Amino acid sequence: MTAAMTGPSPQAVEWLRKLVGFATVSGSESNLGLLEVARAALEVAGFTARFTRSGDGQRANLFATRGAGPGGLLLSGHTDVVSAEGQQWSRPPFQMTEDAQRFYGRGTCDMKGFLAAVLAVATRAECLAPERPLHVALTYDEEIGCLGVRPMLADLAEAGIRPGACIIGEPTQMRVVRAHKGRHSYRCRVTGHATHSSLSGTGVNAAEVACAMVTQVAQLAAAVKQSEHDAGFAVPHSTLATCRIAAGHASNVIPESAEFDFDLRYLPATDPEAVIDPIRRAVAAAQARMREHVVPSRVVLECRTSVPALAHSAAAERIAAAALRAGAKNGLPASYTTEGGLYQAAGIPTIICGPGSIEQAHTADEFILKSELAACETFLENLLGARALSPAAHA
């Protein structure tokens, strides 16, 4: 009987329990303990491991390989999770719990469920086809801009290591996603001149300038909606949205400073710099108008994160076909971002396919269905046992 018929293996369940127990919150908590546990198990199974660390040394990527030669298949996932602070959990977020149908805990869906299945299957020697190398990547700080995968890819390039194909196990309900949008996030900071509110004509109101810029973002979003259409995406155009705004410190003071954050989520065929250019021009014009009143006034637009889109690729169709033969189903392009665009930019054909639903990611009482974890395990057994993966798929 397969894992899909009987539920996930005890090894996969135990791996999920271990992984959830590490509170690997993006940007603040270390993932080194998790990586050491994974490294030890992978090395016992014949993998060799290499690390690339964050600047402060508190987080790292693990890249492990079993087998020799060029190419090979890479199974990749991020180890970081979003914080549970401010959410109403009815269960301990960093302790895996379960009921008859689900495993609960932060990261069970996004994306430690996939990592548990990978570690369970990759450490079972009988599941691995010997013809090509198998690579496993565990990255850090994906949730805050795909920060970890970038130095890892640079390290691999320097070492002359380039897998022939990659599957990133983000939650897609085991559907093959071949493309997703890119994302740029921006912060606009406005500095004016504070005065008592009764003397507003003598100051420069940073809040009003910021609000005018927010209106510019909304107008640009409407224009982009009318100019683009890709029916493959649920939201068939690039989007801009203001997500946070802050200004002032008292109700009787014209605010000297204001800032707001917005993001651009763009189609793979769209040039994000061309989309944002009208905002850059509006920023320059707003600053010029402010300086007619107070010379030190300024408006600054900063791109804080940049994650490229994953585009449809003929090269990735080979690994997509292998995934379908292994039991995955066809999926649609995604409006969220992953590390996939960065792998693709490094010359590694990439698809997204993993257990769980994106609707459960980042939620209180996050969960993964036991049936989906089992299906992922069976999928990986089929894929790595060479029942689905032809040499061309991971050359």
The fraction of the chain above a pLDDT of 90, given in percent, is 88
Output DSSP code: residue 18: H
Write out the DSSP string of 203-260. SB-HHHHHHHHHHHHHHHHHHHHHH---TTSSS-S-EEEEEEEEE-S-TTEE-SEEEE
Given a contact cutoff of 8 angstroms between Cβ atoms, the answer to whether 263 and 147 are in contact is no
Pick from 143, 121, 118, 145: nearest CA to 62 = 118
Please check whether residue 77 is in contact with residue 3, taking contact to mean a CB–CB distance below 8 angstroms: no
CB hemisphere CA count around 216 (13 angstroms): 20
The model's pLDDT over 75-103, given as tens digits with 9 standing for 90+, comes to: 999 999 999 999 999 999 999 999 999 99
Token reading at 386: 């060479």
Task: Domain ranges for the chain, please list them.
Answer: 3-179+310-394, 182-307
pLDDT confidence of 129, banded at 50, 70, 90?
Answer: low
- The model's confidence at residue 199, banded by pLDDT at 50, 70 and 90, is confident
Average pLDDT over residues 306-333: 97
Q: Domain 182-307 - what CATH class?
A: alpha beta
pLDDT of residue 294: 83
Residues 385-395 have a mean pLDDT of 53
131 or 61, greater pLDDT: 61
Q: Name the class of domain 3-179+310-394.
A: alpha beta
Tokens at 64, concatenated: 């492990």
Measure the CA–CA gap between 65 and 74, rounded to whole angstroms. Answer: 9
> DSSP labels for 106-163?
TTIIIIIHHHHHHHHHHT-GGG--SSS-EEEEEES--TTTSTTHHHHHHHHHHHT---
Q: Report the DSSP pairing between strands 350-352 and 165-168.
A: parallel
Q: Which amino acid is at 25?
A: V
Specify the DSSP element, H or E, that contains 382: helix 370-384
Residue 169: half-sphere exposure toward Cβ, Cα within 13 Å: 33
182-307 shares the fold of 3-179+310-394? no
Q: How many CA atoms lie within 13 A of 360 on its CB side?
A: 25
Q: Mean pLDDT check: name the lowest of 88-92, 288-292, 327-331.
A: 288-292
366: left (phi over 0), alpha (psi -120 to 50) or beta: beta
Mean pLDDT, rounded, for 192-210: 89
For the entire predicted model, the pTM comes to 0.92
Residues annotated catalytic, as ranges: 80, 142
Q: Provide the pLDDT for residue 295.
A: 82
Average pLDDT for 110-137: 87
Edge-first strand listing for the sheet containing 350-352? 48-53, 60-66, 134-139, 73-78, 165-168, 350-352
pLDDT at 307 over 60: yes
CA 107 to chain centre: 13
Q: For residues 33 and 123, is the Cβ–Cβ distance under 8 A? A: no
Cβ neighbour number for residue 315 with a 10 Å cutoff: 14
Directed axis angle between helix 317-325 and helix 370-384, to 10°? 110
For residue 340, the tally of other CB atoms under 10 A from its CB is 30
> What CA–CA distance (Å, rounded) separates 286 from 212?
9
Q: Can you tell me the mean pLDDT for 162-187?
A: 98
Asked if pLDDT for residue 299 goes beyond 60, the answer is yes
